Amino acid sequence: MDPGPKPVDTSASPTPEAVWAALQEVKDPEIPVVSVVELGMVRAVEVTGTHVRVDITPTFAGCPAFHAICAAVSDRIRTLGASEVEVRRQLAPAWSSDDMSDAARTKLHAFGIAPPRAHGGLVLPELEAPVACPRCGSFDTDLRGAFGSALCREIYTCRSCHETFERFKPL
Amino acid sequence: MSGPHDLDPALRGALIARLTAMADDELILGHRDSEWTGHAPLLEEDIALANIAQDEIGHALLWLEVRTGLDGSDPDALAFFREAGDFRNVRLVELPRGDWAFTMLRQFLFDAFETELLERLARSSYAPLAEAAAKAAKEEIFHLRHSGLWLERLAHGTEESRRRLEAALEQLWPYLPQLWQAQAGDAALAEAGVVPEPTGLEEAARGRVLAALARVGVASPAEVAPNPGGRERHGEALVALLIDMQSVARADPGVDAW
């Protein structure tokens, strides 16, 4: 007899570690290679019985993917057995590209997006610094537009390999 | 002041009014900018202005979320279900988008003001406001850089671009002072350190605009008396804008996703 899909056990309380691990699978829909944890968007996880609270911060205030991300976070945690999931939008401290992990930078680069370098809060000098082409590594690149296909990116062209690429903005 | 309970009722009311004014400025400007999506002169500029529009609408949400903390109001209801007479934006942002020079100059004037405003609000004694301002300030760097470059291109591009820039400046100039004009409750808010002291903000914002105009060699028009009337006064242009902006939300108010 086919027992059918295993029912989700809503009485089990997930461990915070299990929640963090599950959030590693939730990607930013606009950058499908990096997770919300690697981006540094998840600020806190609190588990009280089967109630799970996640504090999450937007990269940009008007990020249109934010609602989808919150819904994905909530859905993923429910599969761990949480009966109630509360996802809170937290603003402070404001997200910085320095909050992103080294793994995120490596994955962005492999995906063809020039990652932001750590700037320690000196955003303006970083905006003037040369940017390496993620395809050929050349620093002979020009800023084409300070805004790209998503709020977090800007457009560059490479004079060496003549490709256009995006850079994740230092913020 | 870490939260809503630290504000007395008078300050709370004044702050709700101030937040609504700031949110409406951003929301209406963001919508005006979004009208160029698909119509801007260059693909990169189309993308850039669409991004800026999204950021401004995001800033409107930041201010409205701070307001939610004070009175429990719903940001979406405020954005999509108020009538023109209930909006508190300045006239500058509701003027029809005009030509490219008009749009980019208006953006620059607003960015110059907002840069000074955010820098000060980030030190607000009301923590939720300071936090929201610090968030918006990071994004504003990109706006001012972009619109500032356009001011230079328009001024030094061709005779035509300069003529259009100067015409836009003549048109926009009388509306500029309303950006920093204080409202009834602002003095008390400033005294409590919640919002910046109005004179200092005006001097800094005006100074930033005048310095930028001087740098590109464009004479600033003669000082004019500020546009009479407060933020409750609007032109017909706002009514038309709201019909467009609110039409989808009003088509089926019960729907929460499309």
Of all residues in chain B, the one with the smallest CA distance to A121 is B138
Mean of all residue pLDDT scores within chain A = 91
Complex confidence, ipTM: 0.76
Other CB atoms within 10 Å distance of the CB of residue B220: 14
The whole-number average pLDDT for the span B2-28 is 94
pLDDT in tens, A80-115: 999 999 999 998 899 999 999 999 999 999 999 999
Q: How close, in Å, is residue A142 to chain B by CA atoms? A: 14
Q: Is the minimum CB–CB distance between B114 and chain A shorter than 8 Å?
A: no
Cβ–Cβ below 8 Å for A96 and B138: yes
Distance from C-alpha of B241 to C-alpha of B52, rounded to nearest angstrom: 18
Q: Which of A147, A164, A171 to mutate to test the interface with B (most CBs of B within 10 A)?
A: A147
Q: In whole angstroms, give the CA distance from residue A16 to residue A81.
A: 12
Please report the pLDDT score of residue B214 as a whole number.
97
Percent of chain A with pLDDT over 70: 94
* Dihedral over alpha carbons A138, A142, A145, A146 (to 10 degrees): 70
Which three-class secondary structure string do you get for A96-122? CHHHCCHHHHHHHHHHCEECCCCCCCC
pLDDT tens-place string over residues B124-165: 999 999 999 999 999 999 999 999 999 999 999 999 999 999
Residues of B in contact with A63 (CB under 8 A): 58
What's the pLDDT at B258? 58
Query: Is the preceding peptide bond at A93 cis, omega within 30 degrees of 0?
Result: yes
Nearest-CA distance from B11 to chain A in Å? 23
Asked if B56 reaches chain A (Cβ–Cβ under 8 Å), the answer is yes
Structure-token match 């981006």, residue found: A39
- What residues of A are in contact with residue B153 (Cβ under 8 Å)? none
Q: How far is A13 from chain B (nearest CA, A)?
A: 30
Q: How confident is the model at residue A9 (pLDDT cuts 50, 70, 90)?
A: low
The answer to whether residue B33 neighbours chain A at the CB level (below 8 Å) is no
Asked if B142 is an interface residue toward chain A (Cβ–Cβ < 8 A), one would say yes
Domain parsing of chain B, residue ranges = 8-219+230-250
To the nearest whole angstrom, how far is the Cα of A170 from the nearest Cα of chain B? 10
Handedness of CA A18, A62, B79, B38 (dihedral sign): negative
pLDDT, mean of residues B186-193: 96
pLDDT tens readout for residues A30-55: 888 999 999 999 999 999 999 999 99
For position A8, what pLDDT does the model report? 54
3-state secondary structure of A43: strand
The residue with greater pLDDT, A1 or A41, is A41
Least confident stretch, B6-10, B112-116, B165-169, B191-195:
B6-10
- Which domains does chain A show, CATH number per domain? 16-89 (3.30.300.130), 102-168 (no CATH)
The CATH number given to B8-219+230-250 is 1.20.1260.10
Helix, strand, or coil here: B217? coil
pLDDT tens, B48-103? 999 999 999 999 999 999 999 999 999 999 999 999 999 999 999 999 999 999 99
